Each structure stands twice: as C-alpha cells, then as structure tokens.
Amino acid sequence: MNRPAILALEDGSVFHGSAIGADGQATGEVVFNTAMTGYQEILTDPSYTRQIVTLTYPHIGNTGVNREDVESDHIRAAGLVIRDLPLMASNFRSQQRLDDYLREHGVLGIADIDTRRLTRILRDKGAQNGAILAGPDAEGDDAVERALAAARAFPGLAGMDLAKVVSCEASYEWSQGDWTLGKGYAEAATSDSFYHVVAFDYGIKHNILRLLVSRGCRLTVVPAQTSAAEVLALRPDGIFLSNGPGDPEPCDYAITAIREMLESGIPLFGICLGHQLLALASGGRTVKMNHGHHGANHPVQDLDSGQVMITSQNHGFAVDETSLPPTLRTTHRSLFDGTLQGIERTDCPAFSFQGHPEASPGPRDMAPLFDRFVAMLSARR
C-alpha cells in the first residue's frame, strides 16, 4: 500500500491516495454507489463500462473475491475508488484479495481518500468525468496536471453507444440456474424448460439469465444488433431486453428492432437500458440524470398497489415521464426523486423496470417481475 495514486475530476478537484490494483491511467465518468455489499457484482456489471465507481461504504474488500459472484466474464468498471482496503480478507468463500483481483484484470483503483467529500461533490455537481493515475504514472511534479488533463479529455457518456461494444459477438444458449450453498449453480435440462426466451445482450448480467432459467425458460442470448426478423425466426415465446451501459438514444438498431417486435404480440420484458429502449421505441424520450441512481437501498413505489419496495439501482439516464405517449403508462416511481421507474404498454404485452430486480446480493422485493413475465408467456401459450 505504498504506491501513490491520484484521482482528478473535471471540476478541478484532486484526491491523493494509495494505488490498489494495476498501475497506469484510467478515465471515465465518476459515480458513487451506496451499497454496503456486492462490490464484486458491481465491478463485473457491464452497465458500469467507462465508469469509475466510488463506493460510499468505508471498508471494501473485507470478504475478498471468488469465482462465482460475478455478473460477466471480467471486470467492466473503468476504476474503483474506496476509503479503506482492509489488510486481511476473511470469508469461507474467499479465493483472492480484492487488490490482487483488480491487478489480475488490469483495473486501477485508489484507496485512502475522503470518499465522503468526493460523494458530496458528485451529489451536488453531478457525475464528473475523471481520471485515476496509479503507480509511476502518479509520480512527478506534473502528475496532477496530467490527471486533470486526462479527466477533462474524457468525452462523457452522453451520446456514447456502448451496448454494441459490450455485447456478445455471436448468439449462444444459457442453461445455468440458481446458486445453492455447497452445490454451486444448477444446470437446467432442456426438458425442464417450458418457454423459449430470446434475450438481447446490451450488457446482460448473468443473474438475469439465471432467474429466467430457474422459472422454466430456455434462453437464447443474441447480440445487441440482432434484427427483429432474426429474432422472430427463432419463434420465441418471449423477448427480453437487458441492462447495459451508455446513452440509449444512439442505439437506433435496438430501437428499430424493438418497434418491429412489439407488433408481433410476443411478450416483452426490459430491465434498465432495456427499459429505456422500450420507452424510446414507443415514442418516449430519455434524459441524462444529474448523478444517477447507484445503490442497493432505493425506495420505489408500485403505483397500482401503493406498495413501497427497496430496490437495487444502476443507471445514469432516465425516461422522461412527461414524454410518454398514450400507449405507455407509468407503473413505478422512485421515492428518492420522483423519476419514472416502470412502464407498460397499454396495447400489447410489454413492460419494463428501470432498477435491477435480479440484484444478488441485494434486495429481492422486485423479483416477482420475473414471475409476471413468465405468467405472460404462459397466458399467450
């Protein structure tokens, strides 16, 4: 813990700390996440592509990392910012220390900074473009100037189409189901699958696929730029639109495909970026948020039942509720800031949710959304 590191923000704020993970330079949009657990899920969530994640909980790395608690095949966050990295990781499932895990994947991190001060800056001024310099790159009289220049050179996420960047290159089948202590992840047999669901990979998390498999779905995952005709040729019982990073508006290929698939009458369910794309395909608009929603403790209200649920969130863009056409109605709303959290089509079987009902670890209040989707598949069949 004796290697220097610098975090610089585009507004001129500079933080000096200790390097964890790899040496070098990383740039991205700096956001804060208020979850107390799940740092490995956060790091491997493709929705954090080109983002430097600040964790507000002070002690990160206590439980180490393992090969099971991942949401993709490698770390997707551009960098990690924490207050304190414990010298010892202790958990019966731990296989590696957090700093070694970051180094193995070539990801930069910085520790020993005042994350409370940083969070207040991001909360009051909004998410900032930033840069981390670690190791030899953080040394020298001009290190701060270089860090500031790198932060200000990052173009920002607005207008950036990242879904096609993080998506799979070819279609594949997924059969892994729920995790059980001592047994690992279950493998579902084809005979156990009642419904065929085609899932668009805009940056999909593994646990979304696991929850669908555990509910009797046979999954075909397709690249982000797959056309509606190709999907409909697979004769699916349902269509899923995944989470993902970046700005939804440049994803014209996805918006066009969704618009065509809605006309088929096949049930459709979207999460996060998929939620935003459904709104755009239906005639709505999206906006860049000030600092976004990132955490595992966000209250959301179901407007039909009045029930308030605690949810996991990770998004920097939102659907503008004032732009919804008559074919869309609001189903859920954030109690933090009143932003729209859920919609459904009034003329066809399609709905979506902005948060992450699959979060693991995280609150499971919204997991019944998967049951609702499966019930739609059953009703159509």
Catalytic residues: 272, 356, 358
**In angstroms, rounded to a whole number, what is the distance separating the alpha carbons of residues 351 and 207?**
19
Q: What angle do CA 94, 99, 102 make, to 5 degrees?
A: 100
CA 67/CA 137 separation, integer angstroms: 30
Asked if the bond preceding 361 is cis, omega within 30° of 0, the reply is yes
- Cβ proximity of 78 and 28 under 8 Å: yes
Q: Whole-angstrom Cα distance, residue 54 to residue 373?
A: 33
Q: How far apart are CA 111 and CA 162, in angstroms?
A: 28
Cβ–Cβ under 8 Å, residues 14 and 147: yes
Helix (H, G, I), strand (E, B) or coil at 4: strand
The CA-based angle 26-28-33, given to 5 degrees, is 110
Alpha-carbon distance 347 to 24, whole Å?
A: 52
DSSP H helical segments within the chain, as ranges?
A: 39-44, 98-104, 115-125, 143-153, 163-166, 206-213, 228-232, 252-262, 273-281, 368-380
**Beta pairing partners, 329:** 344
**For tokens 């992840």, what's the residue?**
185
